Amino acid sequence: MQGLWVTELQTPSLALSCRVIKTLHRERTPYQELAVVETEAFGRMLLLDDVIQTTVKDEFVYHEMISHVPLNTHPHPRQVLVIGGGDGGAIREVIKHTEVERAVLVEIDARVVANAREYLPEISCGLDDARVEIRFEDGIEHVRRLRDQYDVIIVDSTDPVGPAVGLFSREFYQNVYHALKADGLFVAQTESPFFNAAFIRRVQRDIASVFPVTRLYLATVPTYPGGLWTFSLGSKKYDPVEVDPQTIAPLPTRYYSPEVHKAAFALPPFVQEILRPGEEEELF
């Protein structure tokens, strides 16, 4: 192999490598090692602690699916909270919904936002919208204080290691439940069905112990381990599977559509298997 490559060790026995055209920035923030590199295959790429978070080429899949599925499930998504997501991709999608009055971004690491603004303008471009408020706080602590405030909460976190572990706990889901209004709902990114099956099973069980409606859905994100990615949704009232595609207003999207909304909940048998109760095994 020639030249500079960036490699994410996605599991102890699997790596994804991309040829790097240029390293644009590297720094140690108070929370993590941050890098922005220009790659041949995926354009600009943000890495945190050597884990790919987002790339200009494939980010739209993840950000559209973590945002439009919950926002089109809630009939009136006016107050929206995004936890994590400092690159701004989820916020960019959230503010496409004209009914959104306020979109609060709670990101622990101010340097993620600063670097996204500087190096990833296509992704961070919604952060200056008048409806957006940015707070540099720990999302776990932030949610603990809230009661009855949000219609939709989106947990756009890093992988469940280090400080993010608490974002995947039953206690956090209970706090999210209280932070939501009486008909609110939330969604979280929940890793790979190929490599994190036991983790997904545990998360789904915990969400189901708090929320009356619990769903898992899928999207294809080429730079994430295995390429197939899961999102877990907990809802007090509305079921994303019951949404009538004809009621979904058209938005400028490249992956999400009313048909994809429906199809994302059609789980292959091996993913359905994950949702059946079984042996617990901690993978992280």
Question: How near is the Cβ of 244 to ligand SPD at its closest, in Å?
Answer: 29
Coil, strand or helix: which one is 121?
helix
Coil, strand or helix: which one is 43?
strand
Based on CB atoms, which residue is closest to ligand SPD, 160 or 234?
160
What's the gap between Cα 122 and its chain centre? Answer: 17
Look-up of token digits 């994430």: 224
Residues 172, 174: Cα–Cα separation, whole Å: 5
Question: How near is the Cβ of 280 to ligand SPD at its closest, in Å?
Answer: 22
CB 111, CB 27: distance < 8 Å: yes
Identified catalytic residue from 58, 156, 159, 206: 156
> Residue 74: which of 90, 60, 94, 59 has the closest Cα?
94
Tokens of 166: 């608490």
Based on CB atoms, which residue is closest to ligand SPD, 84 or 240?
84
Q: Rounded to a whole number, what is the distance in angstroms from the first to the last CA of the chain?
A: 31
Based on CB atoms, which residue is closest to ligand SPD, 100 or 116?
116
Residues 98, 57: Cα–Cα separation, whole Å: 26
Based on CB atoms, which residue is closest to ligand SPD, 59 or 206?
59
The widest CA-to-CA distance across the chain, in whole angstroms, is: 57
CB 59, CB 93: distance < 8 Å: no
Question: Is 128 annotated as catalytic?
Answer: no
Question: How near is the Cβ of 91 to ligand SPD at its closest, in Å?
Answer: 9
Look-up of token digits 């979109």: 103
Question: How near is the Cβ of 99 to ligand SPD at its closest, in Å?
Answer: 22
What number of helices (H) and strands (E) belong to the chain?
A: 9, 12
Q: What does the binding site for ligand SPD look like in residue numbers (CB under 6 A)? A: 51, 53-54, 85, 87, 89, 156, 158-159, 189, 224
Residues 70, 75: Cα–Cα separation, whole Å: 10
Question: How near is the Cβ of 45 to ligand SPD at its closest, in Å?
Answer: 11
Question: How near is the Cβ of 10 to ligand SPD at its closest, in Å?
Answer: 7
> Residue 66: which of 88, 44, 41 has the closest Cα?
88
| Active-site residue set | 156
